[in-house]
C-alpha cells in the first residue's frame, strides 16, 4: 500500500486528535504523557493483533518507514518548538538566574556525559557485552540533556515554584543545543571514516556550532525586532516571526552552526517584555502569542504520537532490556551528581528552594531529542542496543517522572501543586 505525504500527515493529525480526546475525556493526564501512553498502548495492541491480521501493523510500519524521525525532529520541528518555548519564557527571571542555568547546561551536560558513559561501559561489561568506551560516551551525550519539549509540556502543570521552574526550563532550552553539539563532536571522533581527529579540530567544531548558533540567534532576533518595530500590522508581523524561524533554521544548517541555540536566543530576544512592548502593539502581541501557542500544541501532539510509535523500530533483546532498566537509576544518579557543584556554588548567591538538586534531577525529563539522536547512530556504534536503552529511559522519564514530579515538589517544598489535567 502506498500513501502520499498528505495522507500520512492526515493520519497522524487524526490520531493526535482522537488520542488527545481520549486523554482529556477519560485519562486526564498531561497531554504529552497521555498521548505517548495511549500511542504505546495502541501499538502494543496492534502488534498483538498482527498475529491474527497484520494489516494494521503493516500500515503503522509503513508510516514510520516514510518518516525520518531524526531529520523531522532535529532539522524541522525542534526549531519551531524551541522558538515557541523561548518566546514565552520569563526573560527577566532567566537573566537573573543566567549563571546557574549556563553552568547546568554546559558543565552539567559535559559532566553527566562522562559519568553516564563510564557507568554504562562498566554496566555493559558486567552484562558480558563488549562495547567501545567512545560508543558509551555517545550514549552519555544523547541521554544527558533534558528535553525542553517534555519539560515545557509537563512542568508548567506540576506546580513547580517559579524560581525553580525558571532554572529547569532555562536549562532545558539551552542544554539540548549543547548536548546535540557534544553528541555530534563525539560522533565525529567515533566515526571510522575520520583518520585524524585532533583536540584543536574538536574544539573548533564545538566552538563553531555553539558560538555560531548564539551569534546567529542574536542577529535573527535583532533583525526581527527592527522589522516588527517599523510596522503595525499583526498579520504580517506574525508571518515575520514564522519567517525568522524557517529562514534561520536553513541558514544555520548551511553554516553548520547550532539551529536549536539560534532559535532559543532569537525567541528570548523577541519575547523579552521590553522588546515586545516597544516593537509590537497589544493586538500584535496577542496574535503572535496565540499563533506560537497553537504551533507548539500541534507539533507537540504529533511528536508524542510519533514517539509512541517508535516502539516498532526497537530490537527487543533480554540483555538490552535489562541494560535499559538498570540504566534508569544510573542516568538519574549521574544527573544528580552533575548538578551538585553548580548548585552548591550558586545557592549562597541566589535563592534556591529546598532540595533543588533532587527536584531538578527528577524534573529533568528526557524525551524525543534523545530518541532522535539514538536513531542517528550507525550499526557499528551499537545502534540497536543504545536505541532500546534510550527508549526505556525516555518512557520512564516521561510517564513515571512526569506524573510524579508534582508530588515530589509538594513534598520537598511544601508548595501547593496543581493537579495535571
Beta-carbon contacts of 398 under 8 Å, excluding residues fewer than 6 positions away, are 32, 33, 36, 150, 154, 365, 366, 367
Per-residue pLDDT tens over the stretch 186-222: 998 888 765 566 777 778 878 889 899 999 999 999 9
Nearest to 312 by CA among 65, 139, 143, 66: 65
Rounded-to-integer distance, Cα 120 and Cα 35, Å: 30
Domain annotation covers residue 420: no
Are residues 61 and 73 both part of a single domain?
no
Are residues 240 and 296 both part of a single domain?
yes
Are residues 131 and 146 both part of a single domain?
yes
Are residues 167 and 51 both part of a single domain?
no
Among 15, 35, 65, give the residue marking a domain's end.
65
Domain annotation covers residue 419: no
Domain annotation covers residue 344: yes
Q: Where are the alpha helices (DSSP H) in 97-230?
A: 98-103, 109-126, 133-143, 148-155, 162-190, 199-230
Domain annotation covers residue 421: no
Are residues 171 and 58 both part of a single domain?
no
Give Dmax (Cα) for the chain.
66
- Which cell numbers in the block locate residue 49? 493483533
Cβ atoms 393, 370 nearer than 8 A? yes
Among 26, 45, 65, give the residue marking a domain's end.
65
Enter the pTM of the model.
0.91
Among 32, 48, 65, give the residue marking a domain's end.
65
**Looking at the predicted structure, is the pLDDT value of residue 415 above 60?**
no
Rounded-to-integer distance, Cα 122 and Cα 134, Å: 13
**Residue 277, domain extent:** 69-413
Nearest to 56 by CA among 15, 16, 106: 15
Domain annotation covers residue 418: no
Domain annotation covers residue 235: yes
Are residues 75 and 38 both part of a single domain?
no
Of 1-15, 50-64, 99-113, 199-213, the range with the lowest mean pLDDT is 199-213
Tell me, what's the pLDDT at 420?
Answer: 43
Rounded-to-integer distance, Cα 159 and Cα 168, Å: 13
Are residues 186 and 53 both part of a single domain?
no
CATH of the domain at 102: 1.20.1530.20
- Which cell numbers in the block locate residue 273? 517584555
Per-residue pLDDT tens over the stretch 154-196: 776 666 777 778 888 889 889 888 888 899 889 988 887 655 6
Domain annotation covers residue 312: yes
Q: Please identify which residue in the block is written with the cell numbers 525529563.
A: 365
Are residues 252 and 169 both part of a single domain?
yes
Domain annotation covers residue 164: yes
Helix 402-413, helix 148-155: angle, nearest 10: 60
Percent of the chain with pLDDT over 90: 69
Nearest to 131 by CA among 372, 379, 359: 379
Are residues 218 and 348 both part of a single domain?
yes
DSSP 156: T
- Dihedral angle over CA of 293, 299, 301, 305, nearest 10: -170
What's the length of the chain? Answer: 421
Which position has the higher pLDDT, 202 or 98?
Answer: 98
Are residues 222 and 322 both part of a single domain?
yes
Nearest to 84 by CA among 274, 254, 281, 299: 299
Are residues 398 and 290 both part of a single domain?
yes
Per-residue pLDDT tens over the stretch 229-288: 999 999 999 999 999 999 999 999 999 999 999 999 999 999 998 889 999 999 999 999
Are residues 245 and 296 both part of a single domain?
yes
419 pLDDT tier (thresholds 50, 70, 90): very low
Nearest to 415 by CA among 160, 169, 154, 163: 160
User: What value does the mean pLDDT of the chain take?
Assistant: 90
Beta-carbon contacts of 354 under 8 Å, excluding residues fewer than 6 positions away, are 412, 413
Our count of domains for the chain comes to 2
Amino acid at each position: 500500500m502506498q500513501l502520499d505525504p498528505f495522507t500520512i500527515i492526515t493520519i497522524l493529525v487524526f490520531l493526535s486528535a482522537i488520542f488527545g480526546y481520549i486523554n482529556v475525556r477519560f485519562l486526564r493526564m498531561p497531554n504529552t504523557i497521555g498521548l505517548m501512553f495511549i500511542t504505546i498502548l495502541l501499538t502494543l495492541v496492534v502488534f498483538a493483533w498482527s498475529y491474527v491480521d497484520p494489516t494494521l501493523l503493516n500500515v503503522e510500519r509503513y508510516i514510520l518507514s516514510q518518516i525520518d524521525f531524526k531529520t523531522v525532529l532535529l532539522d524541522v520541528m525542534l526549531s519551531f518548538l524551541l522558538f515557541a518555548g523561548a518566546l514565552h519564557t520569563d526573560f527577566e527571571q532567566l537573566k537573573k538566574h543566567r549563571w546557574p542555568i549556563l553552568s547546568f547546561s554546559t558543565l552539567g551536560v559535559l559532566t553527566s556525559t562522562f559519568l553516564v558513559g563510564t557507568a554504562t561501559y562498566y554496566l555493559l561489561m558486567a552484562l558480558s557485552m563488549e562495547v567501545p568506551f567512545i560508543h558509551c560516551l555517545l550514549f552519555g551525550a544523547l541521554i544527558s540533556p533534558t528535553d525542553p519539549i517534555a519539560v515545557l509540556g509537563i512542568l508548567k502543570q506540576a506546580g513547580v515554584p517559579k524560581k525553580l521552574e525558571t532554572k529547569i526550563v532555562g536549562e532545558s532550552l539551552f542544554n539540548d543545543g549543547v548536548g546535540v553539539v557534544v553528541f555530534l563532536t563525539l560522533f565525529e571522533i567515533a566515526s571510522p571514516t575520520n583518520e585524524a581527529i585532533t583536540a584543536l579540530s574538536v574544539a573548533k567544531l564545538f566552538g563553531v556550532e555553539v558560538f555560531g548558533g548564539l551569534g546567529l540567534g542574536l542577529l535573527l532576533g535583532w533583525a526581527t525586532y527592527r522589522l516588527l518595530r517599523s510596522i503595525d500590522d499583526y498579520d504580517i508581523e506574525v508571518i515575520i516571526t514564522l519567517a525568522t524561524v524557517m529562514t534561520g533554521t536553513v541558514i544555520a544548517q548551511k553554516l553548520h552552526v547550532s539551529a536549536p541555540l539560534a532559535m532559543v536566543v532569537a525567541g528570548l530576544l523577541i519575547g523579552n517584555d521590553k522588546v515586545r512592548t516597544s516593537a509590537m502593539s497589544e493586538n500584535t502581541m496577542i496574535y503572535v502569542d496565540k499563533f506560537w501557542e497553537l504551533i507548539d500544541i500541534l507539533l507537540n501532539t504529533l511528536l508524542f504520537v510519533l514517539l509512541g510509535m517508535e516502539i516498532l523500530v526497537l530490537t527487543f533483546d533480554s540483555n538490552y532490556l535489562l541494560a535499559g532498566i538498570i540504566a534508569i537509576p544510573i542516568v538519574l544518579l549521574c544527573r544528580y551528581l552533575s548538578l551538585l557543584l553548580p548548585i552548591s556554588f550558586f545557592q549562597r548567591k541566589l535563592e534556591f528552594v529546598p532540595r533543588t538538586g533532587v527536584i531538578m534531577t527528577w524534573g529533568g525529563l528526557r524525551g524525543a531529542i534523545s530518541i532522535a539522536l539514538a536513531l542517528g547512530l550507525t550499526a557499528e556504534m551499537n545502534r540497536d542496543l543504545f536505541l532500546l536503552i534510550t527508549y526505556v529511559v525516555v518512557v520512564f522519564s516521561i510517564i513515571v517522572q512526569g506524573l510524579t514530579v508534582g508530588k515530589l515538589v509538594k513534598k520537598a517544598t511544601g508548595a501547593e501543586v496543581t493537579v495535571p489535567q
